[in-house]
Chain A
Amino acid sequence: MTQASDTTMTADRPIPGPPLWLLAEVTYRCPLQCPYCSNPLDFADSQNELSTEEWVSVLRQGRALGAAQLGFSGGEPLVRPDLPELISEARHLGYYTNLITSGIGLNETKVEAFRDAGLDHIQVSFQASDPELNNAVAGSRKAFEQKLAMARAVKAAGYPMVLNFVIHRHNIHQMNDIIALCDQLGADYVELATCQYYGWAFHNREGLMPSASQLEAAEREVNLYRQRLADAGSAMKLIFVTPDYYEERPKACMNGWGSLFLTVAPDGTALPCHSARILPIEFPNTREMSLKSIWYDSPGFNHYRGDSWMPEPCRSCDEKGKDFGGCRCQAYLLTGNADNADPVCDKSVHHDRILAARRAADHATAGLEDLSYRNVRNSRLFFRG
């Protein structure tokens, strides 16, 4: 173990609360090829996955720090053969354990075995409400049927079920069908997550981003359906995430940098969010430092805590305590400097880049075949050095 060198807390950098959320990205491997994947473009360059023992140590340290929610994510977490062991350990430690999966590689036996190991919840992701579009986006011919079967198995085993749909210009017209499918499958929560532009989605943005009119129509459909569900006394909850690119104020990204969320990437790199690895900041690794030092003392996690790092217009903005200047990754991707205000904000001098993306979405013609799919071959094109 090395000790963190920077342990000073300046007056404007308050001591953070505990990391309540731990996201364990146990692998970047995945059988699907979704062109909006949030994994790094060069994921294929990172193959040095933590061992079972190393993950167990991360889970124990995270729980001792106060993490209560644990997500097993990836990549596709099911490709790790030690997943049942990790679930069992996590549940024993007292975590609420969430499995975030494509459903590919799942079967009834595993659904039951995970239940016995103490898994609390399974989230299954879909790509569309029909097999043709779903399988085209996923880059897999059998994905849709498998997902349907697994959603039914999850429900039959008595788990609460979240179904997640990433929404983009090629499936945004399907809102009614998507919600009806979820209702039929007995989902408890439906995440209609309009694509956010990081990772592969940023690379494919022009081919994914819906137009303003598409988005308005979708929101209308969701609101109407929500009312129908309420009238029917349904407990199914619809969560519609508006894309940042159609906001005038940035989101309070991750509820503030290093404030609640701690992600551990497959190779042990600890991050304030799963996208932050793209930033030109050195992030600590759980192989070299305790999770406690990482959270409280590491320069990477302290980098954007407090507000002394903020340039204008954030520095003098009366909303800086509310949105923390927005998303550092978005600032970096759109301006080349992660310190800048998130360009989603109309006070940002770079807001024109958001407006230009919206105009481009009004005239976009790219088809699914024009997208760059998330696979090892395409990832190798992004290798650094």
Chain B
Amino acid sequence: MDQVPRLRPGFRFQWEPVQKAHVLLYPEGMVKLNDSAAAILSEIDGERTVSAIVARLEERFPDAGALDGDVQEFLEDARQQHWITML
């Protein structure tokens, strides 16, 4: 929980108005993100720890309950896909 996730170099997270969605862009590729993936990725700034990210998300989405399980699961998946690194 005190690890710091960071987008892999060359990966870019941005809002695409035409698709009305957040996307993750990387060399010659693009992933269209669902709302929860986008919410988590939007909190990654290369400085916040996983706990800090969870806390901010729980503040943003007070009705969602405890989010640490979902966030950790997503981050582990993103790490395995080499979208992010964990320091």
**Are both chains from one complex?**
yes
A96 to B10, CA, bound (A): 9
Instruction: Select from chain A the residue with minimum beta-carbon distance to B25.
Output: A96
Question: Is B35 in contact with chain A by the CB < 8 A criterion?
Answer: no
Contact A188 B18 (CB under 8 A): no
Contact with B along A162-201 (1 / 0, CB 8 A): 1000000000000000000000000011000000000000
Residues from 58 to 79 in A contacting B, C-beta threshold 8 Å: 65-66, 68-69, 71
Question: Is A14 in contact with chain B by the CB < 8 A criterion?
Answer: no
A27 to B43, CA, bound (A): 41
Question: Is B69 in contact with chain A by the CB < 8 A criterion?
Answer: no
Question: Is B36 in contact with chain A by the CB < 8 A criterion?
Answer: no
A123 to B27, CA, bound (A): 9
Question: Is B3 in contact with chain A by the CB < 8 A criterion?
Answer: no
Contact A18 B18 (CB under 8 A): yes
**Across the interface, which residues of A come within 8 angstroms of B12, CB to CB?**
96, 120
A166 to chain B minimum Cβ distance, whole angstroms, is 16
A19 to chain B minimum Cβ distance, whole angstroms, is 10
A69 to B29, CA, bound (A): 7
A237 to B83, CA, bound (A): 12
Contact A121 B27 (CB under 8 A): yes
Residues from 1 to 41 in B contacting A, C-beta threshold 8 Å: 8-12, 14, 16-19, 23, 25-30
Given A120-B10, A121-B10, the answer on whether A65 and B27 have CB atoms closer than 8 Å is no
Contact A69 B19 (CB under 8 A): no
Question: Is A246 in contact with chain B by the CB < 8 A criterion?
Answer: no
Question: Is B82 in contact with chain A by the CB < 8 A criterion?
Answer: yes
Contact with B along A133-174 (1 / 0, CB 8 A): 000000000000000000000000011101000000000000
A123 to B29, CA, bound (A): 13
Contact A96 B9 (CB under 8 A): no
A299 to chain B minimum Cβ distance, whole angstroms, is 24
How many residues of A are counted as interface, with CB atoms below 8 angstroms from the partner's CB atoms?
A: 21
Contact B9 A160 (CB under 8 A): yes
A237 to B9, CA, bound (A): 15
Contact B30 A69 (CB under 8 A): yes
Q: Which among A65, A69, A120, A160 is the interface contact of B18 at CB below 8 angstroms?
A: A65
Question: Is A20 in contact with chain B by the CB < 8 A criterion?
Answer: yes
A162 to B26, CA, bound (A): 11
Contact A237 B82 (CB under 8 A): yes
What is the interface residue range for chain B against chain A? Answer: 10 to 19
Contact B27 A160 (CB under 8 A): yes
A237 to B29, CA, bound (A): 13
A15 to chain B minimum Cβ distance, whole angstroms, is 14
Contact B27 A120 (CB under 8 A): yes
A235 to B79, CA, bound (A): 10
A237 to B28, CA, bound (A): 13
**Across the interface, which residues of B come within 8 angstroms of A98, CB to CB?**
27-28
A20 to B30, CA, bound (A): 9
A120 to B9, CA, bound (A): 9
A98 to B17, CA, bound (A): 21
Contact B14 A94 (CB under 8 A): yes
A65 to B18, CA, bound (A): 7
A162 to B16, CA, bound (A): 24
A149 to chain B minimum Cβ distance, whole angstroms, is 21
B37 to chain A minimum Cβ distance, whole angstroms, is 17
**Across the interface, which residues of A come within 8 angstroms of B23, CB to CB?**
68
A159 to B28, CA, bound (A): 13
Residues from 209 to 246 in A contacting B, C-beta threshold 8 Å: 235, 237
A189 to B10, CA, bound (A): 12
- Would you list 6 pairs from A and B whose C-beta atoms are within 8 A, ordered by A residue? A68-B25, A120-B27, A160-B8, A160-B26, A162-B28, A189-B27
Q: Which 10 A-B pairs have the closest CB atoms?
A: A160-B10, A66-B18, A96-B25, A121-B27, A235-B82, A18-B18, A160-B27, A162-B27, A98-B28, A68-B30
